[in-house]
């Protein structure tokens, strides 16, 4: 187990180094940078700034410098916002987390319930309806469904605010503030839940269908257990087990924000920060963000693997 | 002895993409109190489906009991509402299966799996149920019952798991135990132990056993009464001694001939020629006709009915109908 | 008593009749799947609409018509007109040509690259496997959307003519999509290698090329067909996102994605929904139909892979 872990960790680090080099080169090769694009600066000032930020050095040298600092926990300084990248992440990430955590929770709860019921009633009209809905959810263009719901629920019906985290100019505090945030969250959460629901429901449905065919389900029924108990204790426990691996894969989505949804709903999260910085070519921030997601992805994969080993009594011993 | 269960004209059909399969076709028999009845036949002959029909666990959608009655202690199981039938399963009617390795839930501890029926049917509380579960584990001959109760199925061997399955089945004192090929997946030495245990529990509690098997050795050892099934129908039935000493149906004879006998080494073991017919292509005929050495024209066009041929033996074969007519 | 319908491994040599009956059986089962067939019909309809539809439209020249600016849907223009007086229905159909072509082409490309590299990695293992799978891991570690955004930005900075951008977008999508495909094919290859019929081929002393092309590849073709179908939907969605954010195919070449860009204008978004809702619904209808059809295909061709 420990040699396995060491091997995995080593490989993770190598992959991350490779990814960082690739990301750095890609960003470095996008011509135009924050300084060139800024028309307020004079030519001399631009040259001076390039010198300060080391933008006139060769790519590999810049990469070495960036890497050295990154290893010391310093991901550089955002050029546009004049703040350390990590501090900016800390400012924005929790808004992203709020949105992602709520919608992930809702997605899982709804997906498990619908998945179980439609697996139990496989081939019924309810199941067919669920299947069509699953495909619909998986086929939604995220930005379009976002815009569509804003148009209907916010612009036309005025039920919910169209975007942002609080009403502009609002000074609400305490309960009022929480209520306001919840109202603003509603639309993006609905959209994110909808988008995640398709594949997850499908996953639980097919897992359940497999499990319901197993011999031990027949045994549970032969013991005279209530159907609800058969489904939710005997079957669901087994169907949920492989889903533990998904928890790790949710990690990047939980902390990495959603570029498209946050942009569409003007939600002040890390995804929106990225989109904003992308237009400004604020490289330290873009680099930092991309690396951050890559790190989360790698950790998430490892986590999935470990969780599965812990959760399944059959693998635990081996 | 009184009848415990009486099955009359039971038919269970499966509706597949390719057509209707009559897995069990107009089957009637009875099980008396304290009796062991064996159903014998090749795989796919409908013996397991018969068992599942009794338990009310025929796979649906797809399978359905289409007609007949299953009278158990004076009540027709097929007419009972779902709730009542459920409360009888695991209580009066218990069942053990062929594959002990996959028949227990891999993520639930053994002890808990034994406790479940005790809590549902006997309404024991958690503590009582656990105590009883541990008692049951030692009753089925497993040492360190406490430790076993806290382990997971994958930590035990197949033989031990089948003992656990038996512990679950007998936990609520069933009137009828259905055992579907209980020893097929086990080593020969373990097989004997499991059968011994079943016999002993039967003697102690007076329950009846419906044993489903393809192994004539098991039948000889366990059965009071034997039912031979072929392609969803009963072809012969009778008391075990009569049937073994004087088999009537060519299929039964073939089965007995193909069984190796100790001390009588033959050059070549007998095997019944041909294969079981495709259940989708059954025409009115004796389903065994194209494998039968006594096949007559009538066998190809008309189905024989189960006839009493004396000595409590019944057979469904034109050979004996002819004999009856000419006599 | 459940009737299991697992596919026996496909043999090629001397089994022409068995093969065609397997094929015929698959088609028959597909035709029986109503949901999958309705998906197929919708896909066909969308293709017909986009590739044949414009022939029946009087507005294909896209002439700027100031008199007909921003008209709501009506008898003359069924889906209204845009700020330059162009017919929306015609533009949706023309945009569909591009979107569908990009989706199809990038699918072909990523399936080709992914299947080839995955098969080589899974079959030869060793160094080839190491190199290919490490590159795939690397690409899978970097988040897809930022990667596409960087590529998109590169395109803009390099001043690629808009006519050519759609080809480059196809290439970009393939670069992002092939690693997943390669991983899957490799996994299949590894498990097929160990199967009995393959070991029989080894015992018979068949040559590598023959083993790979006559025995292994035919067995992963069902999987490839299914993956390819589902991949088209994904590619259409990715293209629309990129084009919506101005990083994919750019006007004047219309695609469904960049038509929705109209929604970035406050007035168009709030008061002229006919500008951006029809292309959005077109994406949705096409992708859902492809996914439903692909899933039906999976049931028929690869029942073991059902997820």
Is B78 inside any structural domain?
yes
Contacts of B102 in chain A (CB under 8 A): 214-216
Residue B186 vs residues A114, B258, C121, C234: alpha-carbon distances, Å: 40, 21, 41, 50
Nearest-angstrom CA–CA distance, C116 and C118: 6
Examine residue B164 and state whether it is found in any structural domain, yes or no. Answer: no
* Res C285: pLDDT: 94
Q: How far apart are CA B78 and CA B56, in angstroms?
A: 8
pLDDT of residue B55: 92
Contact criterion met (CB below 8 Å) for B111 and B150: yes
Domain C29-54+105-301 has CATH 3.40.50.300: no
Residues 6+ apart with CB under 8 A from B77: B54, B56, B70, B71, B85, B88
Calculate the CA dihedral of residues B134, B138, B143, B146 and round it to 10 degrees.
Answer: 0
Give C61's contacts (C-beta < 8 A, 6+ positions apart).
none
Element (H, E) at A129: helix A125-138
What is the spatial distance between Cα C133 and Cα C147, in angstroms, rounded to a whole number?
Answer: 19
Domain housing B301: 3-92+174-261+268-325
What confidence score (pLDDT) does residue C100 get? 93
Question: Which of chain C's residues have a Cβ under 8 Å away from the Cβ of A286?
Answer: 146
**Tokens in use for B127?**
């503590």
When CB atoms are compared, the residue of A233, A314, A317 closest to B106 is A314
**Which chain B positions have a beta carbon within 8 Å of A312's beta carbon?**
107
As a whole number of Å, the end-to-end CA separation of chain C is: 23
CA distances from A261 to A197, A253, A269, C43, C275 (A): 15, 12, 10, 28, 21
- For tokens 């960049």, the residue is C258
Q: Quote the radius of gyration of chain B (alpha carbons, Å).
A: 21
Listing DSSP states for B107-165 in one string gives: TS-HHHHHHHHHHHHS---HHHHHHHHHHHHHHTT-S-HHHHHTS-GGGS-HHHHHHHH
**Which chains have 3 or more CB–CB distances shorter than 8 Å to chain A?**
B, C
C277 — contact with chain A (CB < 8 Å)?
yes
- The answer to whether C107 touches C88, Cβ cutoff 8 Å, is no
Contact between C126 and C208 under an 8 Å Cβ cutoff? The reply is no
- Does residue A302 sit within a domain? no
How far apart CA A251 and CA A304 sit, in angstroms, is: 10
Candidates C107, C266, A219; CA nearest to B167 is A219
DSSP state of C8: P
* DSSP secondary structure letter of residue B294: T
B324 pLDDT higher than 60: no
Q: At what angle do helices B158-170 and B188-205 cross, to 10 degrees?
A: 10
- Whether residues A141 and C283 touch (CB distance < 8 A) is answered with yes
Rounded CA-CA distance C214/C10 in Å is 10
Structure tokens at B231: 């392609």
Any CB–CB contact under 8 A between A121 and chain B?
no
A154 pLDDT band, cuts 50/70/90, is confident
- Please confirm whether the linkage preceding C252 is cis (ω < 30° from 0): yes
| Tokens 């038509």 found at | C259
Rounded Cα–Cα distance for residues B2 and B4 (Å): 6
Is residue C184 within 8 A of residue C121, CB to CB? The reply is no
**HEC readout, B71-111:** EECCEECCCCCHHHHHHHECCCEEEECCCHHHHCCCCCCHH
Q: Which residue of C has its CA nearest to B24?
A: C1
Task: State chain B's mean pLDDT as an integer.
Answer: 88
Please check whether residue A213 is in contact with residue C1, taking contact to mean a CB–CB distance below 8 angstroms. Answer: no
User: Of B136-145, B318-327, C265-274, which has the strongest mean pLDDT?
Assistant: B136-145
Domain-embedded: residue B79? yes
pLDDT of residue C26: 79
Residue B103: inside a domain: no
Contact at CB, C142 and A290, closer than 8 angstroms: yes
Chain B residues whose CB is inside 8 A of the C1 CB are: 14, 21, 23, 48-49, 59, 62-63
* Interface residue ranges in chain A relative to chain C, Cβ cutoff 8 Å: 15-16, 18-19, 22-23, 26-27, 29-32, 128, 131-132, 135-136, 138-144, 147-148, 151, 155, 202-203, 206, 213, 252, 256, 259-260, 274, 278, 286, 289-290, 293-294, 297-298
B to C CB pairs, distance under 8 Å: 16
Contact B4, B194 (CB under 8 A): no
Q: Take residue A180 and report the two structure tokens written for it.
A: 């306001």
Q: Is residue A315 one of the residues assigned to a domain?
A: no
* Residue B123: burial class (beta carbons within 10 Å; 0-12, 13-18, 19+): exposed
CATH code, domain carrying A211:
1.10.3720.10
Average pLDDT over residues A113-125: 89
Query: Cβ distance A262 to A271 under 8 Å?
Result: yes
Residues of B in contact with C29 (CB under 8 A): 17
Q: How far apart are CA C265 and CA C278, in angstroms?
A: 16
Mean predicted confidence (pLDDT) in A204-231:
91
- Per the structure, how many domains does chain A have? 1
Residue B94 has φ and ψ, to the nearest 5°, of -125, 160
User: Which pLDDT value is given to residue C267?
Assistant: 78
Contact A203 C276 (CB under 8 A): no
Bridge pairing between strands B176-180 and B208-213: parallel
Q: CA quadruple B64, B68, B73, B77: dihedral positive or negative?
A: positive
A148 contact residues in C (CB cutoff 8 A):
277, 280
Given a contact cutoff of 8 angstroms between Cβ atoms, the answer to whether A95 and A269 are in contact is yes
Residue C13, pLDDT score: 37
Q: What's this model's pTM, rounded to 2 decimal places?
A: 0.83
- H helix runs in chain C, sequence order: 16-32, 34-51, 88-124, 126-141, 144-157, 162-193, 196-203, 208-210, 217-244, 256-260, 266-271, 277-301
- Asked if B95 has any chain C CB less than 8 Å from its own CB, the reply is no
- Token pair 């991901």 is found at A75
What is the nearest CA distance from B76 to chain A, expressed in angstroms? Answer: 18
Cβ–Cβ under 8 Å, residues C60 and C49: no
CATH code for the domain of B228: 3.40.50.300
Ordered strands of the B208-213 beta sheet: B93-96, B176-180, B208-213, B36-40, B225-230, B233-239, B314-315, B307-308
Chain-wide mean pLDDT for chain A? Answer: 85
For B14, which residue in chain C has the nearest alpha carbon? C1
Return d(Cα C91, Cα C252) in angstroms, integer.
11
Inside any domain, residue B283: yes
SS3 content of chain B, % helix, strand, coil (to 5): 40, 25, 40
What whole-number distance in Å separates Cα of residue A286 and Cα of residue C149? Answer: 11
Number of domains in chain B: 1
Return the residue in A219, A232, A234 with the most chain B beta carbons within 10 A, the one to mutate for interface testing: A219
Interface of C with A in 27-56 (CB under 8 A): 35
CB contacts of C3 in chain B (<8 Å) are 14, 16-18
Count CB-CB contacts under 10 A for residue A148.
Answer: 21
More confident residue, A41 or C122: C122
The two beta strands, B314-315 and B307-308, are: antiparallel
H or E element in which residue B278 lies: none
Inter-chain CB proximity C2 and B17 less than 8 Å:
no
Q: Which tokens belong to B287?
A: 């389903």
Give SS3 for B211.
strand
Phi/psi zone of residue C66: left (φ > 0), alpha (ψ -120 to 50 degrees), beta?
alpha
Q: State mean pLDDT over B108-112.
A: 93
Q: What is the pLDDT along chain C (307 residues), one digit of tens a residue?
A: 333 333 334 433 333 444 556 777 778 888 888 888 999 999 999 999 888 878 887 777 667 776 667 777 777 777 777 777 778 888 889 889 999 999 999 999 999 999 889 988 888 888 888 899 889 988 888 888 888 888 888 777 777 777 788 888 898 899 989 998 998 888 888 887 777 666 777 777 777 777 777 777 777 888 888 888 888 999 999 999 988 888 888 878 889 988 888 778 777 778 888 888 899 999 999 999 999 998 888 888 765 544 3
pLDDT for A296 beyond 70: yes
């Amino acid at each position: 187990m420990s040699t396995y872990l060491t091997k995995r960790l080593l490989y993770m680090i190598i992959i991350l180094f490779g990814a960082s080099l690739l990301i750095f080169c890609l960003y470095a090769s996008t011509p135009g940078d924050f300084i060139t694009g800024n028309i307020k600066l004079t030519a001399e000032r631009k040259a001076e700034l390039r010198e300060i930020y080391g933008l006139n050095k060769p790519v590999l040298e810049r990469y070495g410098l960036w890497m050295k600092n990154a290893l010391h926990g310093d991901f550089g300084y955002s050029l546009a916002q004049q703040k350390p990248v990590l501090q900016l992440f800390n400012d924005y990430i929790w808004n992203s987390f709020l949105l992602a955590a709520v919608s992930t929770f809702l997605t899982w709860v709804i997906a498990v319930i619908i998945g179980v019921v439609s697996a139990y009633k496989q081939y019924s009209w309810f199941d067919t309806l669920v299947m069509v809905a699953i495909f619909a959810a998986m086929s939604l263009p995220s930005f379009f469904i976002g815009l569509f719901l804003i148009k209907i629920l916010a612009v036309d019906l005025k039920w919910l605010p169209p975007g942002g985290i609080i009403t502009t100019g609002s000074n609400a505090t305490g309960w009022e503030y929480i209520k306001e945030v919840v109202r603003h969250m509603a639309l993006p959460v609905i959209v994110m839940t909808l988008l995640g629901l398709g594949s997850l429901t499908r996953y639980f449905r097919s897992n359940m269908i497999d499990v319901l065919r197993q011999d031990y389900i027949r045994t549970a029924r032969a013991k005279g257990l209530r159907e609800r108990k058969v489904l939710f204790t005997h079957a669901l426990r087994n169907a949920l087990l492989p889903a533990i691996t998904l928890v790790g894969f949710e990690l990047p989505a939980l902390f990495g924000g959603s570029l498209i949804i946050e942009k569409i709903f003007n939600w002040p999260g890390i995804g929106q920060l990225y989109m904003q910085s992308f237009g400004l070519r604020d490289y330290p921030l873009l680099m930092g963000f991309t690396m951050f997601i890559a790190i989360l992805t790698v950790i998430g994969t490892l986590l999935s693997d470990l969780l599965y080993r812990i959760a399944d009594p059959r693998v635990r011993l081996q | 002895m009184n009848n415990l269960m009486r099955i009359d004209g039971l038919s269970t059909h499966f509706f597949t993409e390719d057509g209707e399969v009559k897995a069990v076709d107009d089957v009637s028999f009875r099980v008396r109190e304290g009796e062991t009845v064996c159903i014998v036949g090749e795989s796919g002959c409908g013996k397991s489906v018969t068992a599942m029909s009794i338990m009310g666990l025929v796979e649906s959608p797809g399978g359905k009991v289409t007609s007949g009655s299953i009278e158990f202690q004076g009540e027709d199981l097929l007419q009972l509402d779902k709730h009542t039938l459920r409360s009888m399963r695991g209580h009066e009617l218990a069942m053990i299966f062929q594959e002990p390795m996959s028949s227990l839930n891999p993520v639930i501890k053994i002890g808990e799996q034994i406790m479940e029926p005790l809590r549902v049917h006997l309404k024991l509380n958690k503590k009582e149920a656990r105590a009883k579960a541990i008692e049951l584990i030692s009753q089925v001959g497993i040492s360190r019952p406490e430790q076993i109760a806290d382990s997971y199925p994958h930590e035990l061997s197949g033989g031990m798991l089948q003992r656990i399955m038996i512990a679950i089945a007998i936990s609520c004192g069933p009137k009828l135990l259905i055992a579907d090929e209980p020893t097929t997946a086990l080593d020969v030495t373990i097989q004997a132990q499991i059968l011994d245990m079943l016999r002993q529990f039967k003697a102690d509690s007076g329950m009846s056993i419906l044993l489903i098997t393809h192994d004539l050795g098991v039948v000889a050892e366990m059965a009071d009464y034997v039912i031979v099934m072929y392609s969803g129908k009963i072809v012969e039935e009778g008391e075990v001694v009569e049937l073994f000493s004087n088999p009537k149906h060519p299929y039964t004879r073939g089965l007995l001939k193909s069984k190796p006998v100790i001390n009588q080494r033959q050059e070549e073991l007998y095997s019944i020629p041909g294969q079981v017919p495709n259940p989708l292509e059954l025409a009115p005929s004796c389903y065994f006709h194209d494998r039968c050495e006594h096949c007559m024209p009538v066998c190809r066009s008309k189905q024989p009915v189960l006839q009493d041929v004396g000595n409590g033996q019944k057979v469904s074969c034109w050979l004996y109908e002819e004999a009856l007519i000419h006599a | 008593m459940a009737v299991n319908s697992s596919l026996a491994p496909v043999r090629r040599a001397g089994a022409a009749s068995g093969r065609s009956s397997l094929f015929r059986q698959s088609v028959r089962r597909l035709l029986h799947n109503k949901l999958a067939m309705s998906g197929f019909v919708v896909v066909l309809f969308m293709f017909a609409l986009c590739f044949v539809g414009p022939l029946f439209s009087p507005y294909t020249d896209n002439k700027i018509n100031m008199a007909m600016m921003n008209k709501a849907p009506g008898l003359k223009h069924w889906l209204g007109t845009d700020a330059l007086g162009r017919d929306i229905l015609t533009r949706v159909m023309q945009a569909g040509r591009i979107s569908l072509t990009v989706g199809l082409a990038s699918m072909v490309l990523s399936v080709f690259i992914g299947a080839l590299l995955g098969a080589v990695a899974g079959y030869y293992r060793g160094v080839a496997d190491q190199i290919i799978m490490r590159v795939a891991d690397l690409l899978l570690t970097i988040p897809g959307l930022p990667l596409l955004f960087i590529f998109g930005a590169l395109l803009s900075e390099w001043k690629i003519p808009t006519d050519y951008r759609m080809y480059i977008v196809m290439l970009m999508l393939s670069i992002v999509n092939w690693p997943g495909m390669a991983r899957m094919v490799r996994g299949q290859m590894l498990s097929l290698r160990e199967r009995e019929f393959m070991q029989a081929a080894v015992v018979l002393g068949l040559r590598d090329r023959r083993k790979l092309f006559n025995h292994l590849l035919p067995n992963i073709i069902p999987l490839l067909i299914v993956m390819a179908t589902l991949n088209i939907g994904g590619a259409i969605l990715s293209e629309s996102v990129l084009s919506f954010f101005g990083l994919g195919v750019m006007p004047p070449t219309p695609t469904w994605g960049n038509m929705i860009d109209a929604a970035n204008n406050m007035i168009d978004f709030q008061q002229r929904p006919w500008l951006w809702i029809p292309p959005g619904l077109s994406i949705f209808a096409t992708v859902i139909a492809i996914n439903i059809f692909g899933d039906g295909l999976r049931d028929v061709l690869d029942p073991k892979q059902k997820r």
